[in-house]
Amino acid sequence: MMNAKREESVIYRLENTLFNLLVQENYSALEKEKLRFGIQIVLSELIKLLIIYLAAILLDCVLPTFITHLAFLILRQVCLGYHFNGLFTCIVWSIITFPVAVKCLMELHHHLNFSSATLYVIFCIFLLMVYLLAPKGTVNQPIINEKHCRFLRKKMCFRMLLLIGVFFFSSVEIKLLISYGVLIEVIMLTLQTTIKGDVSNE
């Protein structure tokens, strides 16, 4: 707990340093709040990525983690879904979900040797679930109105087609990682639906 508090204190000091460097005297109170919020988002994402990929390096699974992460983010940006409360909680679950689970998944594949046909079925099921569930707005990323929802779904369909194309031409190992990345988004959408519900500004 003390380490988490110390870490948050370091992040807070870094945030203030960047804010003081970037803020302009003529900024309104609203512009200052937007700048601070933007710095918080960028810092939290950078810290998260750094820790996730340090763990991936230690587990010797950087490339598989990156492929899974990319497949997840391609959908995450337009499908939205559940966010964990607090940076520390998010980092812990991200380490478990990405490098640790990816390492276990690759080991499992070496023992079970998933067939391409099996992965096609699994991938199609996961994509169908995303299509039926998404998008799911959150407090931080609400769906503004019906037009916004249609816009997100249009982009989602394009990204799904992109994933399908990549999946079709990929090796069995990459097919497995892409499928797992899509599964993570299914879980995030399901959690948002069951725990918090869809959030919109309508």
Q: pLDDT tens, 71-112?
A: 999 999 999 999 888 888 999 999 999 999 999 999 999 999
Mean pLDDT rounded to a whole number for the chain: 89
Q: What is the pLDDT of residue 1?
A: 44
Q: What is the pLDDT of residue 168?
A: 97
**pLDDT tens by residue, 154-197:** 999 999 999 999 999 999 999 999 999 999 999 999 999 998 66
When mean pLDDT is compared across 31-35, 109-113, 116-120, the lowest value belongs to 31-35
**pLDDT tens by residue, 1-14:** 444 444 456 677 88
Distance, in Å, from the CA atom of 136 to the CA atom of 46, rounded to the nearest integer, reads 24
Q: What is the pLDDT of residue 6?
A: 45
Distance, in Å, from the CA atom of 164 to the CA atom of 39, rounded to the nearest integer, reads 35
Using CA atoms, how far residue 57 sits from 78, 98, 160, in Å, is: 29, 12, 29
Distance, in Å, from the CA atom of 121 to the CA atom of 170, rounded to the nearest integer, reads 15
Q: Please compute the mean of the pLDDT values over residues 127-144 and round it to a whole number.
A: 91
Q: What is the pLDDT of residue 95?
A: 97
Distance, in Å, from the CA atom of 154 to the CA atom of 158, rounded to the nearest integer, reads 7
Place of tokens 């763990």: 55
The helix/strand/coil state of 83 is: coil
Place of tokens 């601070």: 36
Q: What share of the chain is helix, strand, coil (3-state, %, to 5)?
A: 80, 0, 20
74 close to 177: Cβ distance less than 8 angstroms: no
Distance, in Å, from the CA atom of 55 to the CA atom of 47, rounded to the nearest integer, reads 12
pLDDT at 114 over 70: yes
pLDDT at 44 over 90: no
pLDDT band at 116 (very low <50, low <70, confident <90, very high): very high
At a CB cut-off of 8 Å and minimum separation 6, what does 166 contact? 178
